[in-house]
Amino acid sequence: MKISLIQMNSVSDKPANIAAAAKLMEQAVAEERPDWICLPECFDFLGGDRKAKMVAAETFPGGPAYAAMQALAKKHQVYIHAGSILEKPETGERIHNTTVVFDRAGREIARYRKIHMFDITAPDGTKYHESAAFAPGSAIVTYNCEDMIVGCAICYDIRFPDLFQALVAKGAQMIALPAAFTLQTGKDHWDVLCRARAIETQAYICAPAQNGTHVAGTETRQTYGHSLVVDPWGHVIAKASDGIGIVSARIDLDRVKKVRAQIPVAQHKVRFD
Protein backbone atom coordinates (compact mmCIF):
# COMPACT_ATOMS: atom_id res chain seq x y z
CA MET A 1 0.00 0.00 0.00
CA LYS A 2 1.29 3.44 -0.89
CA ILE A 3 0.60 6.31 1.49
CA SER A 4 1.07 10.08 1.32
CA LEU A 5 1.35 12.50 4.22
CA ILE A 6 0.41 16.14 3.74
CA GLN A 7 2.45 18.79 5.56
CA MET A 8 0.66 22.12 5.96
CA ASN A 9 0.91 25.56 7.51
CA SER A 10 -2.70 26.02 8.57
CA VAL A 11 -3.82 29.33 10.07
CA SER A 12 -7.07 30.84 11.37
CA ASP A 13 -8.70 31.03 7.93
CA LYS A 14 -10.85 27.96 7.44
CA PRO A 15 -11.76 28.35 3.75
CA ALA A 16 -8.11 29.00 2.85
CA ASN A 17 -6.95 25.97 4.87
CA ILE A 18 -9.47 23.64 3.22
CA ALA A 19 -8.48 24.93 -0.21
CA ALA A 20 -4.78 24.45 0.59
CA ALA A 21 -5.39 20.91 1.82
CA ALA A 22 -7.40 20.03 -1.27
CA LYS A 23 -4.70 21.42 -3.58
CA LEU A 24 -1.98 19.40 -1.88
CA MET A 25 -4.09 16.26 -1.95
CA GLU A 26 -4.82 16.72 -5.66
CA GLN A 27 -1.08 17.08 -6.19
CA ALA A 28 -0.39 13.92 -4.19
CA VAL A 29 -2.90 11.96 -6.23
CA ALA A 30 -1.44 13.21 -9.52
CA GLU A 31 2.20 12.68 -8.61
CA GLU A 32 2.21 9.80 -6.14
CA ARG A 33 -1.03 7.83 -6.78
CA PRO A 34 -1.43 6.85 -3.10
CA ASP A 35 -3.98 4.46 -1.65
CA TRP A 36 -4.20 6.40 1.63
CA ILE A 37 -3.67 10.09 2.40
CA CYS A 38 -3.31 11.63 5.85
CA LEU A 39 -3.54 15.31 6.80
CA PRO A 40 -2.08 17.01 9.90
CA GLU A 41 -3.82 17.93 13.13
CA CYS A 42 -6.28 20.85 12.90
CA PHE A 43 -5.72 21.12 9.16
CA ASP A 44 -8.97 23.09 8.87
CA PHE A 45 -8.22 25.74 11.50
CA LEU A 46 -5.12 26.38 13.62
CA GLY A 47 -4.77 29.31 15.99
CA GLY A 48 -7.30 31.95 16.94
CA ASP A 49 -8.79 32.34 20.38
CA ARG A 50 -11.37 30.11 22.04
CA LYS A 51 -14.30 32.01 20.49
CA ALA A 52 -12.80 31.79 17.00
CA LYS A 53 -12.31 28.04 17.40
CA MET A 54 -15.95 27.58 18.38
CA VAL A 55 -17.08 29.57 15.35
CA ALA A 56 -14.82 27.51 13.06
CA ALA A 57 -15.95 24.15 14.48
CA GLU A 58 -18.47 22.14 12.50
CA THR A 59 -21.07 19.45 13.05
CA PHE A 60 -20.56 16.06 11.39
CA PRO A 61 -21.57 15.12 8.80
CA GLY A 62 -21.89 17.98 6.36
CA GLY A 63 -19.52 20.71 7.56
CA PRO A 64 -17.19 22.28 4.98
CA ALA A 65 -14.03 20.39 5.96
CA TYR A 66 -15.92 17.11 6.36
CA ALA A 67 -17.68 17.53 3.01
CA ALA A 68 -14.49 18.49 1.17
CA MET A 69 -12.61 15.44 2.41
CA GLN A 70 -15.53 13.13 1.73
CA ALA A 71 -15.80 14.44 -1.83
CA LEU A 72 -12.07 14.05 -2.50
CA ALA A 73 -12.08 10.47 -1.20
CA LYS A 74 -14.95 9.59 -3.52
CA LYS A 75 -13.55 11.52 -6.49
CA HIS A 76 -10.13 9.86 -6.36
CA GLN A 77 -11.21 6.55 -4.80
CA VAL A 78 -8.61 6.91 -2.07
CA TYR A 79 -8.73 6.48 1.70
CA ILE A 80 -8.51 9.84 3.47
CA HIS A 81 -7.49 10.04 7.13
CA ALA A 82 -8.61 13.62 7.62
CA GLY A 83 -6.01 14.69 10.18
CA SER A 84 -8.22 16.40 12.70
CA ILE A 85 -11.12 18.81 12.32
CA LEU A 86 -12.64 21.11 14.93
CA GLU A 87 -15.94 19.44 15.88
CA LYS A 88 -18.83 21.23 17.56
CA PRO A 89 -19.93 19.55 20.81
CA GLU A 90 -23.34 17.98 21.21
CA THR A 91 -23.46 19.58 24.64
CA GLY A 92 -21.17 21.86 26.62
CA GLU A 93 -18.91 24.74 25.66
CA ARG A 94 -15.75 22.86 24.64
CA ILE A 95 -15.20 21.52 21.12
CA HIS A 96 -13.53 18.27 20.10
CA ASN A 97 -10.29 17.73 18.18
CA THR A 98 -11.54 14.99 15.90
CA THR A 99 -10.18 12.67 13.22
CA VAL A 100 -12.63 11.49 10.56
CA VAL A 101 -11.70 8.75 8.08
CA PHE A 102 -13.28 8.09 4.67
CA ASP A 103 -12.98 5.02 2.47
CA ARG A 104 -12.59 4.95 -1.31
CA ALA A 105 -16.34 5.46 -1.79
CA GLY A 106 -16.40 8.50 0.52
CA ARG A 107 -18.09 6.63 3.37
CA GLU A 108 -17.11 7.59 6.92
CA ILE A 109 -15.47 4.53 8.47
CA ALA A 110 -13.92 5.93 11.67
CA ARG A 111 -14.09 8.89 14.03
CA TYR A 112 -11.58 9.53 16.82
CA ARG A 113 -11.60 12.34 19.36
CA LYS A 114 -8.19 13.26 20.79
CA ILE A 115 -7.86 11.81 24.28
CA HIS A 116 -4.86 13.59 25.83
CA MET A 117 -4.99 17.36 26.22
CA PHE A 118 -1.85 19.45 25.69
CA ASP A 119 -1.74 21.40 28.96
CA ILE A 120 1.94 22.26 29.42
CA THR A 121 4.41 25.10 29.95
CA ALA A 122 7.07 25.12 27.23
CA PRO A 123 10.77 25.75 27.97
CA ASP A 124 10.41 29.40 26.97
CA GLY A 125 7.53 29.87 29.41
CA THR A 126 4.74 29.74 26.82
CA LYS A 127 1.66 28.11 28.32
CA TYR A 128 -0.54 25.78 26.31
CA HIS A 129 -3.94 24.97 27.79
CA GLU A 130 -5.73 22.84 25.22
CA SER A 131 -8.35 21.66 27.69
CA ALA A 132 -9.68 25.22 27.98
CA ALA A 133 -11.15 24.93 24.48
CA PHE A 134 -11.22 21.18 23.82
CA ALA A 135 -13.02 18.34 25.58
CA PRO A 136 -11.15 15.02 25.49
CA GLY A 137 -12.47 11.87 23.90
CA SER A 138 -12.32 8.46 25.53
CA ALA A 139 -12.71 5.82 22.81
CA ILE A 140 -9.80 3.82 21.40
CA VAL A 141 -10.35 3.68 17.65
CA THR A 142 -9.08 1.44 14.85
CA TYR A 143 -10.41 0.78 11.37
CA ASN A 144 -9.87 -1.57 8.44
CA CYS A 145 -8.05 -0.20 5.39
CA GLU A 146 -7.97 -2.91 2.75
CA ASP A 147 -6.05 -5.74 4.49
CA MET A 148 -4.56 -3.50 7.17
CA ILE A 149 -5.79 -2.31 10.56
CA VAL A 150 -5.02 1.35 11.27
CA GLY A 151 -4.99 2.88 14.74
CA CYS A 152 -5.88 6.50 15.52
CA ALA A 153 -3.94 8.96 17.67
CA ILE A 154 -3.36 12.72 17.56
CA CYS A 155 -0.22 14.72 18.44
CA TYR A 156 0.19 14.83 22.27
CA ASP A 157 -1.18 11.28 22.44
CA ILE A 158 2.29 10.15 21.38
CA ARG A 159 3.61 10.70 24.91
CA PHE A 160 1.29 8.01 26.30
CA PRO A 161 2.52 4.54 25.31
CA ASP A 162 -0.48 2.84 26.92
CA LEU A 163 -2.73 4.22 24.18
CA PHE A 164 -0.47 2.81 21.49
CA GLN A 165 -0.35 -0.57 23.22
CA ALA A 166 -4.15 -0.52 23.38
CA LEU A 167 -4.28 0.16 19.63
CA VAL A 168 -1.98 -2.79 18.95
CA ALA A 169 -4.13 -4.96 21.23
CA LYS A 170 -6.99 -4.10 18.86
CA GLY A 171 -4.89 -5.29 15.91
CA ALA A 172 -3.25 -2.08 14.66
CA GLN A 173 -0.42 -2.62 12.17
CA MET A 174 -0.12 1.05 11.31
CA ILE A 175 -0.87 4.03 13.56
CA ALA A 176 -1.72 7.46 12.16
CA LEU A 177 -0.54 10.43 14.21
CA PRO A 178 -1.60 13.77 12.72
CA ALA A 179 0.20 16.47 14.68
CA ALA A 180 0.95 20.14 15.25
CA PHE A 181 4.05 19.73 17.43
CA THR A 182 5.56 22.93 18.80
CA LEU A 183 8.98 23.92 17.47
CA GLN A 184 10.55 23.79 20.93
CA THR A 185 9.37 20.31 21.86
CA GLY A 186 9.56 18.98 18.31
CA LYS A 187 13.25 19.63 17.75
CA ASP A 188 14.15 17.50 20.78
CA HIS A 189 11.33 14.96 21.06
CA TRP A 190 9.50 14.43 17.74
CA ASP A 191 11.76 11.90 16.02
CA VAL A 192 12.60 10.13 19.28
CA LEU A 193 8.97 9.66 20.30
CA CYS A 194 7.81 8.56 16.85
CA ARG A 195 10.61 5.99 16.62
CA ALA A 196 10.01 4.80 20.18
CA ARG A 197 6.30 4.20 19.57
CA ALA A 198 7.12 2.32 16.35
CA ILE A 199 9.67 0.10 18.09
CA GLU A 200 7.37 -0.59 21.05
CA THR A 201 4.33 -1.40 18.95
CA GLN A 202 6.19 -3.00 16.04
CA ALA A 203 3.86 -1.04 13.79
CA TYR A 204 4.27 1.69 11.20
CA ILE A 205 3.90 5.21 12.58
CA CYS A 206 2.65 7.71 10.00
CA ALA A 207 2.82 11.26 11.29
CA PRO A 208 1.87 14.24 9.11
CA ALA A 209 2.55 17.54 10.84
CA GLN A 210 1.95 21.26 10.74
CA ASN A 211 4.99 23.38 9.87
CA GLY A 212 5.38 27.14 10.21
CA THR A 213 3.81 30.01 12.13
CA HIS A 214 0.26 30.77 13.20
CA VAL A 215 -1.34 33.27 15.57
CA ALA A 216 -3.13 32.00 18.68
CA GLY A 217 -4.83 34.84 20.50
CA THR A 218 -2.12 37.45 20.84
CA GLU A 219 0.80 35.02 20.47
CA THR A 220 2.67 33.95 17.36
CA ARG A 221 3.51 30.25 17.60
CA GLN A 222 5.67 27.93 15.54
CA THR A 223 5.12 24.30 14.64
CA TYR A 224 7.96 21.88 13.93
CA GLY A 225 6.86 19.97 10.83
CA HIS A 226 9.15 17.10 9.77
CA SER A 227 6.27 14.79 8.84
CA LEU A 228 7.59 11.25 8.81
CA VAL A 229 6.95 7.55 8.39
CA VAL A 230 8.67 5.09 10.72
CA ASP A 231 8.74 1.37 10.01
CA PRO A 232 8.15 -1.37 12.66
CA TRP A 233 11.89 -1.69 13.32
CA GLY A 234 12.16 2.02 14.12
CA HIS A 235 13.74 3.19 10.86
CA VAL A 236 12.57 6.54 9.47
CA ILE A 237 11.76 5.56 5.87
CA ALA A 238 10.35 8.92 4.70
CA LYS A 239 10.60 12.44 6.04
CA ALA A 240 9.47 15.87 4.84
CA SER A 241 11.69 18.89 4.55
CA ASP A 242 10.74 22.23 6.08
CA GLY A 243 7.77 23.98 4.51
CA ILE A 244 4.55 22.85 2.92
CA GLY A 245 4.61 19.63 0.94
CA ILE A 246 4.04 15.91 0.53
CA VAL A 247 5.98 12.87 1.66
CA SER A 248 5.18 9.33 0.53
CA ALA A 249 6.16 5.78 1.42
CA ARG A 250 5.10 2.18 0.90
CA ILE A 251 3.65 0.12 3.74
CA ASP A 252 4.58 -3.57 3.76
CA LEU A 253 2.52 -5.76 6.08
CA ASP A 254 5.07 -8.54 5.67
CA ARG A 255 7.55 -6.21 7.37
CA VAL A 256 5.22 -5.98 10.38
CA LYS A 257 4.90 -9.78 10.54
CA LYS A 258 8.65 -10.27 10.22
CA VAL A 259 9.55 -7.81 12.99
CA ARG A 260 6.92 -9.24 15.34
CA ALA A 261 8.21 -12.75 14.69
CA GLN A 262 11.84 -11.77 15.29
CA ILE A 263 11.12 -10.11 18.65
CA PRO A 264 7.75 -11.44 19.86
CA VAL A 265 7.20 -8.84 22.57
CA ALA A 266 3.44 -9.42 22.55
CA GLN A 267 4.09 -12.94 23.86
CA HIS A 268 6.51 -11.73 26.51
CA LYS A 269 4.32 -9.14 28.21
CA VAL A 270 3.90 -9.45 31.95
CA ARG A 271 0.88 -7.95 33.67
CA PHE A 272 1.68 -5.90 36.75
CA ASP A 273 -1.06 -5.35 39.30
Q: What CATH fold (topology level) applies to the domain 2-262?
A: Nitrilase/N-carbamoyl-D-aminoacid amidohydrolase (3.60.110)
Q: What is the pLDDT of residue 95?
A: 96
The mean pLDDT value for 82-111 works out to 96
Domain boundaries, the chain: 2-262
Please state the pTM of the whole predicted model.
0.96
Q: How far is CA 237 from CA 22, 89, 128, 226, 228, in A?
A: 25, 38, 31, 12, 8
Mean pLDDT, rounded, of the chain: 96
Q: What is the pLDDT of residue 228?
A: 98
Give the DSSP letter of residue 179.
Answer: B
3-state secondary structure of 244: coil
Q: How many whole angstroms from its chain centre is CA 5?
A: 9
Catalytic residues: 41, 114, 155
Q: What is the pLDDT of residues 28-80, one digit of tens each?
A: 999 999 999 999 999 999 999 999 999 999 999 989 999 999 999 999 999 99
